[in-house]
Amino acid sequence: MDKSVDVSIIYVNYNTEELLVNSLHSLVQNLKGFSYEVIVVDNASKEFKAQALKQVYSEVKIVHSPENLGFGGGNNAGAAVASGKYLWLLNTDTLIPKDNKLSEIFGFLENHTGYAAASPLLVNESGEYQSSQIAYFPGTLRMVGEKPIKLIVRLLPLTRHFFSQVNADYLPIVDRDIDSAAAASFFIRRSVFEEVGGFSKEYFMYYEDTDLCKKIAGDGYKIRFIPQAKVVHLLGQSIRSSYERKKMYFKSQDIYFAHWRSRWSQLGVQILRTPLVFLYWLRRDKSV
């Protein structure tokens, strides 16, 4: 029987072994304040050498999937073998800095049972705030206004506060309850993860974290943003951008809106994003 630990850290890897090794090394060097285990789910990478990971952390648990389960499916597979009270879902393109203060998330969840999950501050390599790490639950009006509002704020920075109820990026960076957080670094009680059924299988990639947060809220739990805790996110280096990725994003968007919003809201999003889809199609890489 596996020894119980405070936190089960889950990485989902797909052809990002170098990033994963670097992330794991920073974690082993800098993480303190709670006991943990590390679980790596390999999503049928072309090449995967477990020995490189074991040289960094000999006790790493490795789950080999015969097929690419996607982000949510990979995390579900990791959670199935986890023994921690909490799950920490962590992207391979992350680094744990020395001044991470991640133990504050563990302490908060230990002392606030009404909260199912918590998220740290995500910063880039220069220490700057990373956009879209916390968000309101998406709706048609918020999605329609997102890009025009970003343009207005770029031209008139003093309008940030005025638009903070539309785009959570414009909220002050302080402790707060949030609707949704990016799963690049996301702590959740394992009991709640199991209660809500983990990540929904309909999503291969994108929107699965928003859907999970929606299910958490639906069961009456809250999610906390704790910016004292910090993780460096190399943003998207584990994902190659392409037109096919955009199509995957829009497909997941349709699944989310079909499940959580009205039919009219879903139709409105599809109509309003049509020019954007066409633009991506024109700019697509023909070699992909």
The SS3 of residue 31 is: coil
pLDDT computed for residue 2 by the predictor = 59
Burial class (CB in 10 A: 0-12, 13-18, 19+), 223: buried
pLDDT computed for residue 288 by the predictor = 39
The SS3 of residue 207 is: coil
Architecture of domain 7-140+167-233: Alpha-Beta Complex (3.90)
pLDDT computed for residue 1 by the predictor = 45
pTM of the model: 0.88
d(CA 126, CA 257): 35
Give the chain's residues under pLDDT 70.
1-2, 141-147, 236-241, 243, 275-278, 280-281, 283-288
pLDDT computed for residue 266 by the predictor = 72
Cβ-Cβ contacts under 8 Å for 227 (sequence gap 6 or more): 120, 121, 173, 174, 175
pLDDT computed for residue 264 by the predictor = 73
**Residue length of the chain:** 288
User: Other CB atoms closer than 10 Å to residue 117's CB: what's the count?
Assistant: 25
pLDDT computed for residue 280 by the predictor = 65
pLDDT computed for residue 287 by the predictor = 42
d(CA 39, CA 77): 10
d(CA 47, CA 69): 16
pLDDT computed for residue 141 by the predictor = 65
d(CA 253, CA 234): 24
Strands 222-233 and 94-95: antiparallel
pLDDT computed for residue 95 by the predictor = 98
pLDDT computed for residue 132 by the predictor = 83
d(CA 269, CA 257): 9
With CA atoms as reference, report the closest residue to 11 among 2, 3, 21.
Answer: 21
Burial class (CB in 10 A: 0-12, 13-18, 19+), 84: buried
d(CA 257, CA 244): 20
Name the token pair of 90. 């962590």
Q: Give the max Cα distance, the chain.
A: 59
Q: Position of tokens 């690049």? A: 184
d(CA 148, CA 143): 10
pLDDT computed for residue 276 by the predictor = 67
